[in-house]
Amino acid sequence: MTLAGLGTEVAAASRPSGVFVKASFPHHGFSLRHPAAWARDNWCWTGATVDPIALLTTAQPWPKCSKPVTGVGASWPPAERLGADGMSVDLALEGVFPGVKEIWNARVDGRPAYLASPAYGRKRDAAVTCPAGVRREFRAASIEPPGAENTALTVAAVICGPRLAAGEAAFRRMIRSVRFSG
């Protein structure tokens, strides 16, 4: 399966905005494009098995990174409230246990990737909330970075309705735009 056939672009009149800008993460060796109107917050701490990179969100106000307090669990993704048609995307490097066989079903920038099926409800990333009565969708992709050993780049999204199709299209467009820098 290639990403070329995953759907249409976001219409300029729908949320999220049809204008996408490039976000570079040179320390992590990749870039991607995201809606220009979204807030971006580069994350300020790393964990034992998850290395949060950045949060891209429509939340107003958006959560700011603060270093975890010793002895208190840190939230990744952070708690945030999205509005109707809102979306939050978290980028992270996640550890893959040695010996675990990855199941790839797509390619992103020539790299093996896994695109998960949509999940609905609050089972995933429960700290990210949508307005009451609005359908919530979770999307995720894992991509094997060049030269990676026991690591995957994860791109996870919470999409709030009612127009889930626009959020899904933005997620697909972001995934198709991922580029690794050797």
What does the pLDDT look like over 100-157, one tens digit per residue?
Answer: 888 899 999 999 999 999 999 877 878 899 999 999 999 999 999 998 888 999 999 9
pTM of the model: 0.85
pLDDT reported for residue 50: 85
Count CB neighbours of 41 within 10 A.
15
Nearest-angstrom CA–CA distance, 55 and 133: 25
pLDDT reported for residue 78: 84
pLDDT reported for residue 172: 96
Contacts of 149 (CB under 8 A, 6+ apart): none
More confident residue, 102 or 171: 171
- Per residue in 50-66, pLDDT (tens digit) is 889 999 999 998 888 77
pLDDT reported for residue 37: 94
pLDDT reported for residue 74: 62
Residues 18/23/28/29 CA torsion (nearest 10 deg): 90
Is the per-residue pLDDT at 171 higher than 90? yes
Mean pLDDT lowest among 21-35, 43-57, 81-95, 156-170:
43-57
Fold of 3-63+76-180: Jelly Rolls (2.60.120)
Cite the beta strand spans of the chain per DSSP E.
20-25, 30-35, 39-42, 50-57, 80-81, 87-95, 106-108, 111-115, 119-120, 128-129, 136-143, 151-160, 179-180
More confident residue, 45 or 7: 45
pLDDT reported for residue 3: 39
Residue 75 is classified by DSSP as P
- Per residue in 10-39, pLDDT (tens digit) is 222 234 457 999 999 999 999 999 999 999
pLDDT reported for residue 71: 55
